[in-house]
Chains A and B, each alone.
Chain A
Amino acid sequence: MSSIALEVRDVSTSFGENLIHDRISCTVYQNEIYALLGGSGSGKSTLMREMILLERPDSGTIRIFGQDLSTITPIEALKLRRSWGVLFQSGALFSSLTVGENIALLYKEYTDLPPNLIQELVNLKINLVGLPLHAKHLYPSELSGGMVKRAALARALALDPKLLFLDEPTSGLDPLSARQFDELILQLRDLLGLTVIMVTHDLDTIHHIIDRFTLLGNKKAIAEGTLKEVLQVDHPIIDYFFQKGSHGITR
């Protein structure tokens, strides 16, 4: 196994009285596609928000590339934020900018590359995620759901991140687009050396591209490992989540 990209140790979180995470741990190795799974309300999105510094756990540590997020300084945090890309479920493209401007914004803020190279890079990223080139001049409100996802992925990939966080990347896509999206992520991982962490519900995605995952349920991390390893474990939530038997997924 290669070295550790992200490590969660004994993380507990509660919103007021409501306990979300009870001492959760998991480990993501470099260059793998890792998933956080669980039913609705199992706290997987919250865990991801804690990983990307949008929320803080009550206790426990999260380390990304060895950097402890609880003791991170603002400068280190900025550096870390530039080394990852985040794809939000709804895309979260800036609605007042065109797709091209959404992507170019990162280059303009963080690099001093000449404008024609920036335009070339924008074209490149748009092409990379499979959008037609004219989409560059469109506003997010003029795009279909699938195109919004792709545009948001292009923005997440703008700075060639090492780490890619995806929040339900295939939700709202038709099955064919969803498989293409999976294929794209797989290719990007192989060629750009990405580590991908995603929250997903899509069983096809889990089957085809996920290397390892953690299943959250009952506020705890129930199981961690490859699909084969997890299916060995006997637990009602695992049976329920993978609908063992009913859909042809067997041990």
Chain B
Amino acid sequence: MQTRIPASFSVIEDKEKTTLVCSGSWTIEYLHEVAEALEGLHPRSNVIWDIAAISDIDSSGVALWHMSNEAFKCQGYHYSTINAREEYTHLYRLLYPEPLHQEPPRTYPSWIYIIGQASYRIYTRLLSFLAFFGEAFVIFFYTLRYPHLIRYRSIGAHILETGARALPIIAISAFLIGVVVAYQSVVQLQKFGADIFIVDMIGISLTRELAPLITAIVVAGRSGSAFTAQIGAMKMTQEIDAMKTMGFDPFTFLVWPRVIALMIVMPLLIFFADMVGILGGMVIAATQSHLSFTEFLHRLQGALALKHYLIGIAKGPFFAFLIAFVGTYRGFQVSMNTESIGQYTTKSVVNAIFLVIACDALFSVLLTELKL
């Protein structure tokens, strides 16, 4: 390949005309400097391009030439080109077959329009959520009438995936929460010589509040996000459309198996978290305050009323419902671009965790008012 010299031009001005004598390679790599120079050029008479000496030109060179001419025209000068080789003319004809349509200037809407549009968007989103919710329940009651439509196998697979496979991470999280609560309590309780109350502390706070919450957060991050990503990817590859055309209802095939599986699995996971969390507390009680396992368990039987444990477990299906529903709903919202999968997966986890905490607060208030 021949060596190329960067594009350049020199200006020769006389009374009637400004001549731009161009040379070098007017191609994309070598164009940067002349582009800036031409932008700053303000001729005082009609312009003549002499392009005899340029070695080659590509579409960016032609575009620059064209743009400069537009600018000259705006300033009220004519332009012409001399010594153009035939192939340059052909290239120009190809690139600018007719005057390109000028882009209409973009108009910016008024603030009232923007507010209106935003409100309308929120309104349509609410409607779409209600439509999703409504359709899901129509299908739910329909499958109750025809129970053979229930996808037991799929529910089983989701129980394995969201339940059994989540055990290790839930064990670690719950154990550490038990350790943290026990550690903090031991220090405070020892000041009053009330070491023994650590059992009440751990027993009640874990089973009633902390274990359900931690489990829900782990499950939202682990399974809620997976639901969104799985369904979102299926939507992008048109698998969901394909299912619909074959008469497979996405709610019976995708939504309810996940929701039901998670609702079955969640109380079991909370029970598991209770056990491991209390174990964590017991280990700290034994090492920090010399309370043996036997003593701890003996005290626990008296301190931990059954209702605390039951309330904790009972929260499970509610949390599970929220997580699974938000996860699947967000999955169906994914549109045809790759970015939206990430966007909606994030949204699904954030919404699920928020809803779980809000639901927990509601339980707290409600149950306290009911004196439970």
Q: Across the interface, do A113 and B66 meet the contact criterion of CB distance under 8 Å?
A: no
Report how many residues on chain A are interfacial, defined by Cβ distance under 8 Å. Answer: 26
A23 to B165, CA, bound (A): 48
Chain B residues closer than 8 Å to A112, beta-carbon distance = 32
Query: Taking the nearest CB of chain A, how far is it from the CB of B99, in angstroms?
Result: 11
Q: Across the interface, do B32 and A120 meet the contact criterion of CB distance under 8 Å?
A: no
A117 to B36, CA, bound (A): 10
A157 to B58, CA, bound (A): 11
Asked if A124 is an interface residue, CB under 8 A from chain B, the answer is yes
With beta carbons under 8 angstroms apart, the residue of B28, B63, B66, B103 that contacts A159 is: B28
The interface residues of chain B, by DSSP majority, are classed as helix
Q: Across the interface, do A191 and B94 meet the contact criterion of CB distance under 8 Å?
A: yes
Chain B residues closer than 8 Å to A95, beta-carbon distance = 336-339
With beta carbons under 8 angstroms apart, the residue of B28, B67, B97 that contacts A120 is: B67
Interface string of B13-33 (1 = CB under 8 A from A): 000000000000001110110
Q: Which residue of A lies closest to B95 (CB)?
A: A124
Chain A residues closer than 8 Å to B337, beta-carbon distance = 95-96, 139-141
Asked if B35 is an interface residue, CB under 8 A from chain A, the answer is yes
Interface string of B334-354 (1 = CB under 8 A from A): 011111000000000000000
A128 to B28, CA, bound (A): 17
Asked if B143 is an interface residue, CB under 8 A from chain A, the answer is no
Q: Across the interface, do B339 and A121 meet the contact criterion of CB distance under 8 Å?
A: no
Residues from 102 to 124 in A contacting B, C-beta threshold 8 Å: 111-114, 116-117, 120-121, 123-124
Asked if A70 is an interface residue, CB under 8 A from chain B, the answer is no
Asked if A7 is an interface residue, CB under 8 A from chain B, the answer is no
A141 to B97, CA, bound (A): 29
Chain B residues closer than 8 Å to A117, beta-carbon distance = 31, 35, 60, 63-64, 67
With beta carbons under 8 angstroms apart, the residue of B95, B97, B101 that contacts A133 is: B101
| Contact A114 B338, CB 8 Å, known A120-B63, A124-B63, A133-B100 | no
Asked if A187 is an interface residue, CB under 8 A from chain B, the answer is yes
Query: Taking the nearest CB of chain B, how far is it from the CB of A116, in angstroms?
Result: 7
Asked if A21 is an interface residue, CB under 8 A from chain B, the answer is no
Interface string of B89-111 (1 = CB under 8 A from A): 01100111100110100000000
Using CB atoms and an 8 Å cutoff, list the residues of chain B in contact with chain A.
27-29, 31-32, 35-36, 39, 58-60, 62-64, 66-67, 87, 90-91, 94-97, 100-101, 103, 335-339
Using CB atoms and an 8 Å cutoff, list the residues of chain A in contact with chain B.
95-96, 111-114, 116-117, 120-121, 123-125, 127-128, 133, 139-141, 157, 159-160, 187-188, 191-192
